Structure 1
Amino acid sequence: MSTKIAACAGAATLAAALAAPAFAGPAYTNDTGGSFRWYGQFNPSFQSFDDGQEDFNRLTDNAASNSRIGFWLEQAYGENTLRFNFETAFGFRSSDGVNQLSTGDNVSWDRTNIRHVDFQFDTARYGRFSAGQGSMATDGITGADFSGTGLGASNAVADSAGGYAFRTSAGALSGVDIGDAFSDLDGGRLGRVRYDTPELAGFTLSTSYGTDVLKDANDRESYDIAVRWANEDAAGFALDSGIGASWTEETGKADQRDISGSFAVLHKATGLSLNLAAGERDIAGTYAYAKLGYKADLIAAGSTAFSVDYYDGSDMVTAGDSAESWGVAAVQKIDALNVETYLAYRDYSYADTSAATYQDANVILAGARWKF
Structure 2
Amino acid sequence: MSIKFAASASAIALTAAIASPAFAGPTYENDTGGSFTWYGQFDPSFQSYDDGTETYNRLVDNSGSNSRIGFRLKQAYGENTLQFKFETAFGLRSSSGVSQTSTGDTLSWDRTNIRHVDLQFDTARFGRFSAGQGSMASDGIAGSDRSGTGVVAGVAVADPAGGYAFRTSTGTLSSIDVGDVFSDYDGGRLGRVRYDSINLNGFTVSASYGTDILKTNNDRETYDVAVRYGNANLGDFAFEAALGAAWTEETGKADTRDIVGSAAIEHKPTGVSLAVAAGERDIAGSYGYAKLGYTTNWTSLGSTSFSVDYYDGSDMASTGDSATSWGIAAVQKIDNYNVEAYLAYRDYSYEDTTSTSYNDSSVIMAGARWKF
**TM interval, short-chain normalised:** over 0.9
After superposition, where does 1:193-204 map in structure 2 within 5 Å? 193-204=193-204
Question: What letter corresponds to residue 92 of structure 1 in structure 2?
Answer: L
Q: TM-score scaled to structure 1, two decimals?
A: 0.99
Residue 24 of structure 1 and its aligned partner are, at CA, apart by: 2.4
> Could you say which residue in structure 1 is the equivalent of 2:110?
110
Distance 2:296 2:165 in 1: 37
Distance 1:205 1:198 in 2: 8
CA deviation string 1:133-175 (max 9, x = no partner) = 0000000000000000012210100000000000000000000
Q: Secondary structure of the residue that 2:13 maps to in structure 1?
A: helix
After superposition, where does 1:161-176 map in structure 2 within 5 Å? 161-176=161-176
Q: Secondary structure of the residue that 2:2 maps to in structure 1?
A: helix
Q: Secondary structure of the residue that 2:65 maps to in structure 1?
A: coil
Question: What letter corresponds to residue 200 of structure 2 in structure 1?
Answer: L
> Could you say which residue in structure 1 is the equivalent of 2:240?
240
Q: Secondary structure of the residue that 2:95 maps to in structure 1?
A: coil
> Could you say which residue in structure 1 is the equivalent of 2:356?
356
> Could you say which residue in structure 1 is the equivalent of 2:159?
159
> Could you say which residue in structure 2 is the equivalent of 1:99?
99
Question: What letter corresponds to residue 247 of structure 2 in structure 1?
Answer: W
> Could you say which residue in structure 1 is the equivalent of 2:319?
319
Distance 2:199 2:317 in 1: 39
Residue 17 of structure 1 and its aligned partner are, at CA, apart by: 1.2
> Could you say which residue in structure 2 is the equivalent of 1:336?
336
Query: Where do 5+ consecutive residues of structure 1 fail to align?
Result: none
Q: Secondary structure of the residue that 1:15 maps to in structure 2?
A: helix
Distance 2:111 2:16 in 1: 27
Distance 2:2 2:77 in 1: 56
Query: Where do 5+ consecutive residues of structure 2 fail to align?
Result: none
Query: Aligned residue pairs: how many?
Result: 370
Q: Secondary structure of the residue that 1:160 maps to in structure 2?
A: coil
Q: Secondary structure of the residue that 2:159 maps to in structure 1?
A: helix
Residue 18 of structure 1 and its aligned partner are, at CA, apart by: 1.2
1:75 aligns with 2:75: yes
Question: What letter corresponds to residue 165 of structure 1 in structure 2?
Answer: A
> Could you say which residue in structure 1 is the equivalent of 2:7?
9
CA deviation string 1:225-269 (max 9, x = no partner) = 000011111121000000000000000000000000100000000
After superposition, where does 1:1-372 map in structure 2 within 5 Å? 4-20=2-18, 21-22=20-21, 23-372=23-372
Distance 2:62 2:320 in 1: 31
Q: Secondary structure of the residue that 1:19 maps to in structure 2?
A: helix
Distance 2:54 2:295 in 1: 35
Q: Secondary structure of the residue that 1:24 maps to in structure 2?
A: coil
Distance 1:273 1:24 in 2: 30
Q: Secondary structure of the residue that 1:159 maps to in structure 2?
A: coil
**What is the aligned-residue RMSD (CA, Å)?**
0.6
Distance 2:60 2:16 in 1: 13
Distance 1:150 1:78 in 2: 37
Distance 2:248 2:16 in 1: 41
CA deviation string 1:58-110 (max 9, x = no partner) = 00000000000000000000000000000000000000000000000000000
Q: Provide the identity percentage.
A: 69
CA deviation string 1:19-66 (max 9, x = no partner) = 123132111000000000000000000000000000000000000000
Moved over 2 A (4+): none
Distance 1:335 1:229 in 2: 28
Distance 2:152 2:232 in 1: 24
Residue 219 of structure 1 and its aligned partner are, at CA, apart by: 0.1
